Amino acid sequence: MLAYKISEEQTKKLKNLQIKFEETKFLIESFNPDKKNFIKKQSLISNIGASTRIENALLTDTEIEWIDTSIATALNTGF
């Protein structure tokens, strides 16, 4: 069985990271819904782009955004 003990320095770094995460989460919660939706969409596009590039696909973030917009439009219009 493997075991690993976290040092005091690592514990401090993790606690600082948690504090920064909580501060960021609090800040994001104060954004208006339009800004939250924009950030969510851009994050999704960036993540999809990174994933497709890992798989050697040649899609840019702009192309992914176009596809996403096209699909969303088609779903909203019933096509």
Give per-residue pLDDT as tens, 64-75.
Answer: 888 888 877 777
Residue type, 40: K
First to last CA, the chain: 55
Cβ neighbours of residue 6 closer than 8 Å, sequence gap 6 or more: 14
Helices (H), the chain: 8-29, 33-54, 61-77
pLDDT (tens digit per residue) in 15-63: 999 999 999 999 999 999 999 988 888 888 888 888 888 888 777 888 8
User: The pTM is what?
Assistant: 0.55
